[in-house]
Amino acid sequence: MTTTVGQYLSARLGQIGLKHHFAVAGDFNLILLDELLAEGSTKQIYSCNELNCGYSAEGYGRANGAAAMVVTFSVGALSAMNAIGSAYAENVPVIIVSGAPNTNDHGSGHLLHHTLGNTNYGYQAEMMRHITCATEVIFSADNAPQQIDNAIRTALRERKPAYIEIPCNLANAACAAPGPVSSLLSEPAADPASLEAALEETGRFLYARDKVVLLVGSRMRASGVIDLLPALADRMGCAVTVMAAAKGFFPEDHPAYRGVYWGEVSSPGAQEIVEGADGILCLGPIFNDYATVGWRATLKPENTLLADLHGITVNGRVFEGFSIRQYLEALSARAPRRAGSAETPRQPLPTIAPAPRDARLTNDEMTRQINALVDGNTTLTAETGDSWFNAVRMDLPGGAKVESEMQWGSIGWSVPAALGGALAAPDRRHVLMVGDGSFQLTAQEVAQMVRYELPIIIFLVNNHGYVIEIKIHDGPYNYIKNWDYAGLIAAFNAEDGHGLGLRATTAGELAGAIEQAKANTRGPTLIECDLDRSDCTETLVKWGTKVAAANSRAPKVN
């Protein structure tokens, strides 16, 4: 029972539930790509460059639970590192596989192309080690099965990216065939003593408090247990809020929902509920400077229970040895009713009155129309910039999903990530909001949406500059060259594409463009929304001022 190293990898990717892998070809990975095609468990999807390839995989992994990508040595892998950093920061298991020099060239003193120009070829793995949870450099086909399995298993358990390096002359070398995939997928059993102690301490915490609230954070996506939250909320009867990066992680039409908690820029009433609570169950939160509005929205540790992916902290004690799934499943069966916080009703979001059809397009009107487009089957991807704030203020139907990248915050992420998400979940409607500045980083990936006929609706928010940066700290570096964004689509279509590029300067033009986008099922529709540069959300300005103040704190003097 033998296979080849490349086909072993290919079979494993299919067995863990992938239907696609992303790739950019290069001479160090061509044989590997052939092996993946020959085994055929996953479809090969091509990216314009390795950064986009990584972001596409990251977006795919969010929707599908894991993803894989294949790049060539150095010139490919080093470009992908920003995206792998994103997958690490955002807890997405992306398996990055790099082709590598022929085994005979390692340690030979041979100088190879695509390298730094010295003869030590270990540097790429050393760099990857810092941004992955497992780094496997394969030097013998015999060891490849264990090494591939270890990388994939660790990525799935840690919810982080993992790195596999395959020399170009080993991709088609013979190795043992795969064993049962359960060895990669099975979750370690919870330590019963630690889990029981954690639940008892949780009980002591909850019984001593009247106003308990659930605060859902973005690491809950990685936990794969978002679906457990409504049952926990029903049992406890308490209010539920979400952090900005977890917008949409709890159904907004559920009676317990009280909005987004984001310090001073929270949804109406949410700050009072969270900061007025004496028990806050923080589920998978990331309390960074952005989430705390420049360290201003910090919760009292004595009032919080912190549940993370592999343990909890409560009443000054730490319990580990179980997953957040195991903890929440057990808690949902025995948590006490704590309905005090739910007595405060949800305050409605400010409504935006429809603009007349011939009125100049505004940020408010654009957001109102996009919100109306979002149904329970929509995934809305929101790029860094005012798109975050526009997504956060939307009123979402149950089932709608939002994807944002608020920990890593790398502009350009959203275009390839939306492509990855659309491939992973073809039955959903995919809507992308991206600013002009961000779009310029990864714009060419729209060509792959054309190629793969993905009907993603792109709202290109042309507010003529890096408005989020203008609000944080202004300078000449925040003003960019304007492009004919809608016009790009004709170039990407070339002779055979079905993409649509439209431009809206009035409310009526936007409404018409959205109707055309809905009808265009064989490719992306990019709607360039032309806005005044000064036209942005109030929350962006308020938040930007506070984050800028935190950034400009003077150094402490001893």
How many CB atoms are located within 10 Å of the residue 484 CB? 12
CB-nearer residue toward ligand TPU: 424 or 547: 547
- Enter the tokens of residue 227: 């679906």
Q: State yes or no: 150 annotated in a binding site.
A: no
Residues 31 and 298: their CA atoms lie apart, in Å, by: 52
Q: Which helix (H) or strand (E) holds 392?
A: helix 386-392
- Measure CA of the first residue to CA of the last residue in the chain; give whole Å: 67
Asked if 461 interacts with ligand TPU (CB under 6 A), we say yes
Asked if 468 interacts with ligand TPU (CB under 6 A), we say yes
Q: Which amino acid is at 236?
A: M
CB-nearer residue toward ligand TPU: 134 or 461: 461
CB-nearer residue toward ligand TPU: 147 or 384: 384
Q: Scan residues 480-519 and list those touching ligand TPU (CB under 6 A).
A: none
Length of the chain: 558
SS3 430: strand
Per CB under 6 A, the list member of 467, 504, 514, 529 interacting with ligand TPU is 467
Asked if 437 interacts with ligand TPU (CB under 6 A), we say yes
- What track of x and - describes contact with ligand TPU for positions 407 through 426 (by CB under 6 A)? --xxx---------------
Asked if 326 interacts with ligand TPU (CB under 6 A), we say no
CB-nearer residue toward ligand TPU: 42 or 384: 384
Asked if 384 interacts with ligand TPU (CB under 6 A), we say yes
Cα–chain center distance at 114: 30
CB-nearer residue toward ligand TPU: 371 or 438: 438
Q: How far is the CB of 265 from ligand TPU (least distance, A)?
A: 15
Task: Give helix 30-39 / helix 5-15 axis angle, nearest 10°.
Answer: 50
Per CB under 6 A, the list member of 59, 294, 311, 385 interacting with ligand TPU is 385
CB-nearer residue toward ligand TPU: 105 or 469: 469
Cβ(132)–Cβ(160) below 8 Å = yes
SS3 288: coil
Q: How far is the CB of 159 from ligand TPU (least distance, A)?
A: 23
Q: State yes or no: 288 annotated in a binding site.
A: no
Asked if 406 interacts with ligand TPU (CB under 6 A), we say no
The residue range among 91-99, 214-222, 234-242, 430-438 that interacts with ligand TPU, by the rule CB under 6 A, is 430-438
Place of tokens 């949409």: 248
Residues with Cβ within 8 Å of residue 324, at least 6 apart in sequence: 220, 223, 225, 283, 284, 307, 308, 309, 310
Per CB under 6 A, the list member of 323, 463, 506, 537 interacting with ligand TPU is 463
Asked if 125 interacts with ligand TPU (CB under 6 A), we say no
The residue range among 88-96, 332-340, 419-427, 434-442 that interacts with ligand TPU, by the rule CB under 6 A, is 434-442
Nearest to 359 by CA among 539, 531, 161: 531
Asked if 469 interacts with ligand TPU (CB under 6 A), we say yes
SS3 282: strand
CB-nearer residue toward ligand TPU: 47 or 135: 47
The residue range among 52-60, 107-115, 267-275, 378-386 that interacts with ligand TPU, by the rule CB under 6 A, is 378-386
Q: Which amino acid is at 163?
A: Y
- Enter the tokens of residue 283: 């589920």
Closest residue to bound ligand TPU by CB: 435
Q: How far is the CB of 419 from ligand TPU (least distance, A)?
A: 17
Cβ(505)–Cβ(365) below 8 Å = no
Asked if 435 interacts with ligand TPU (CB under 6 A), we say yes
How many CB atoms are located within 10 Å of the residue 111 CB? 10
Per CB under 6 A, the list member of 90, 386, 445, 530 interacting with ligand TPU is 386
Alpha-helix runs per DSSP H in 494-532: 507-519
**Across 39-109, where does the E strand assignment appear?**
43-46, 67-71, 94-100
- Enter the tokens of residue 341: 């916080």
The residue range among 128-136, 153-161, 199-207, 460-468 that interacts with ligand TPU, by the rule CB under 6 A, is 460-468
Give whole-number Cα distances, 512 to 372, 440, 509, in Å: 14, 25, 5
- Enter the tokens of residue 492: 């990407």
- Enter the tokens of residue 285: 């939160």
CB-nearer residue toward ligand TPU: 99 or 412: 412
Q: How far is the CB of 387 from ligand TPU (least distance, A)?
A: 6
Residues 416 and 91: their CA atoms lie apart, in Å, by: 17
The residue range among 193-201, 205-213, 256-264, 384-392 that interacts with ligand TPU, by the rule CB under 6 A, is 384-392
Q: State yes or no: 463 annotated in a binding site.
A: yes
Binding residues for ligand TPU, total number by CB under 6 A: 17
Per CB under 6 A, the list member of 7, 369, 438, 506 interacting with ligand TPU is 438
Residues 66 and 54: their CA atoms lie apart, in Å, by: 12
Asked if 85 interacts with ligand TPU (CB under 6 A), we say no
Backbone phi and psi for residue 262, each to the nearest 5 degrees, phi listed first: -150, 55
CB-nearer residue toward ligand TPU: 311 or 524: 524
Asked if 145 interacts with ligand TPU (CB under 6 A), we say no
Residues 523 and 206: their CA atoms lie apart, in Å, by: 51
Asked if 436 interacts with ligand TPU (CB under 6 A), we say yes
Give whole-number Cα distances, 455 to 451, 499, 525, in Å: 11, 8, 7
Q: Residues comprising the binding site for Mg(2+)?
A: 436, 463, 465
Interface with ligand TPU (CB under 6 A): 384-387, 409-411, 435-438, 461, 463, 466-469
Q: Which residues are annotated as a binding site?
A: 436, 463, 465
